[in-house]
A and B are shown apart, each in its own frame.
Chain A
Amino acid sequence: MSIYIVQLLTGVAYGMLYFMIAAGLTIILGVMNVVNLAHGAFFLLGTYFAFTFMSLHLNFWLALLLAVIVTAILGIIIEKLLINKLYGKELEQVLLTFGLTFVIADCAKWIWGTEMQTIAVPELLNSSITIGEMVFPAYRLFVVLVGCILAVILWYLESRTRVGAIIRAGVDDRAMVAALGINVRLVFTGVFAFGAGLAGLSGVLGGPLIGMYTGMDSDILVTSLIVVVIGGLGSWKGSFVGAILIGLIETLGKIWFPSLSMLIVFLLMVVVLMIRPQGLYGKVVSQ
């Protein structure tokens, strides 16, 4: 029994990391209609920035905060300088963000080198809890907790605040937002920075679990795109459910279908899209 609890918690912990990165991706897609292939790069940058701040003897929490802020600022710069120029040209935006992944990954390699590193678990959480006869690292529980808090914050933002209303309107009908006299450009910049920050957060929190290495950006990107697809574009609720689903399937799939572990996530996505072409919580959009 306790084995299953450990597996479940593990799946949920990874699901939460996927949720944080997918939440940004989905909202950028939903509001701005940008398939941001550079999102994995923000994840990577989050980890690398945190590593740098921690090697300057800042503690984990300060490093976390600074890394998220710096990543978000970088998001603002990229949005203002580049993506802004291509509003409405979707294919070009895909190509642009694809080019950015090359640039960012190579710059990271240049600045930080190719050596693999890890981010130390903060002192406070560097312990294990015992579940039955099994041991579970406390840090993972913390990740689950942060994910849940984030979900609540996003839910509150979306349903109870003006910002949320604008974003919801943006997902439904972009033209309407502009017609309401809202500064669309500002909304876009904000959304992009917010998404980048979330990816950075996911990177920092994932640091102690996943480590930091060249190529981590593309490893995470595909999975988070799948989460977005399964959940439905522009839906935080969808991302949350999709991410936990993927986290669980990945973990439990290893036990039940070990030979399928490479395929299972993609199979899940194909099945979901066959039944619901717009994802679990996506709205049906006319073409």
Chain B
Amino acid sequence: MKNNLFIILILIISVSGLPFLLSGFGVDLATEIYIMAIFAMSLGLLMGFAGMVSLGHAAFFAIGAYTVAILGQFINNVYILILSAIIIAGLIALLTGSLFIRTSNFYFLMITLAFGQLLYALAWQLENWTGGADGMRVSATLDFGFGEIASPLAIYYLMGIAFIFVYILLKLFVNSPAGRIIKGIMENPSRMAALGYEVRVYKLLVYSLAGALAGFAGSLYGYFNMFVSPDLTYWKFSGEVMIMVIFGGVGTLIGPVLGAGLFIILQNFISSYTERWQLILGAILVLLVLVGKGGIIHWFGYFKEKFIIRKGTKNVETSKPIEEEREVIT
């Protein structure tokens, strides 16, 4: 618990302090990273705590963003729009999830991919609502009742607060009884079923929660970018988020956050310097996988192992003679 407070404190300090170090674009990029971090955490929850690897998670993100764009034409109220984005995404996740969780592993990956592509096709074809392939502009304004939030810095803080809020929320959920049961189901489904837990209900719960959170991230993104297009639900976007999660470390909450940050920064940086950004990014991915030890969050564990094990072995060496001595004595 102390550690959790510590990390939350670090997050709060970095979120509030960052703008003093960053210039305009840095703030914009950090804002986007917070939104993506929320998105990545929602997938991280699904992958790392429930063992469900989805390649269509962007669908819920897009649902959130499109909700703000489409409903925003009629109702210009942040509370209603964001709330409906969360509810709609969550409900659709609940509905589709009840069908999808019948499948497992690779089939689950594929059926979620198909779902994302279905939405992609819909966003593309329902031109009158979504603007089709040309996308549509978001007309809703970011106004919580005390004036429109338009300056990049204000948006930055808003997204930063949302990010910390979601992090705390997820941390609480993961450590709650339901969260523990879900983790247990991932590790040993048959045992948990034998213990009388409804495996499917818990899986569905996580899937819906992850969907609702992705919808929340999507609605923020709609406000941030003021433009939505079908690319938001394309499988490559789902793939990118998956990279962020695996990149950062599956099974932790802060891992996907770091993954999102590093991925977006890398993608931006490399492409600014060279046209061969795909080659370099791809090579970095390959390298990171080979030496990555399951995500950057675990690198430290690796270094520590090397470092502490040396100490440890010394301890073993020193303790061994004592045991031998004891044997001799007895």
Contact = CB atoms under 8 A, between A and B. Distances in A.
Interface of A: 29, 35, 82, 85-86, 89, 91-92, 94-96, 98-107, 110, 218, 222, 225-226, 229, 233, 259, 262-263, 266-267, 269-270, 273-274, 277-279, 285, 287
Nearest to B247: A95
Given A92-B294, A106-B282, A222-B113, A99 B289 contact: yes
B285 A99 contact: yes
Contact of B235 (A102, A106, A222): A222
Given A86-B289, A96-B286, A103-B283, A287 B104 contact: yes
B32 to A, nearest CB: 21
Contacts of A279: 107
Interface string B100-124: 0011111101110111011001101
A148 B218 CA distance: 47
B149 to A, nearest CB: 36
Contact of A105 (B115, B278, B284): B278
B114 A102 contact: no
Contact of B282 (A102, A266, A287): A102
B189 to A, nearest CB: 6
Contacts of A91: 47, 53, 246, 250
Contacts of A287: 104-105, 189
A110 B122 CA distance: 35
B285 A96 contact: yes
Interface string B113-153: 11101100110110000000000000000000000000000
A191 B302 CA distance: 33
Contacts of A82: 286, 290
Contacts of A277: 102-104, 107
Given A98-B285, A105-B278, A273-B111, A85 B235 contact: no
**What bracket does the count of chain B residues touching chain A fall in?**
35 or more
B110 A226 contact: yes
Nearest to A101: B282
A35 B106 contact: yes
A229 B236 contact: no
Interface string B76-110: 00000000000000000000000100111111011
Contacts of B107: 229, 273, 277-279
A103 B118 contact: no
Given A270-B114, A277-B103, A278-B107, A110 B286 contact: no
A260 to B, nearest CB: 8
Contact of B285 (A35, A95, A105, A263): A95
Given A91-B250, A94-B246, A99 B110 contact: no
B106 A96 contact: no
A262 B118 CA distance: 8
Contacts of B284: 99
A102 B118 contact: no
Interface string B14-55: 000000000000000000000000000000000100000100
Contacts of A29: 106
28 contacts: A86-B289, A86-B290, A89-B294, A91-B250, A92-B289, A92-B292, A94-B242, A96-B285, A99-B283, A99-B284, A100-B286, A106-B279, A218-B236, A225-B110, A226-B114, A229-B107, A229-B110, A229-B111, A262-B121, A262-B125, A266-B117, A266-B118, A267-B118, A273-B110, A273-B111, A274-B99, A287-B104, A287-B189
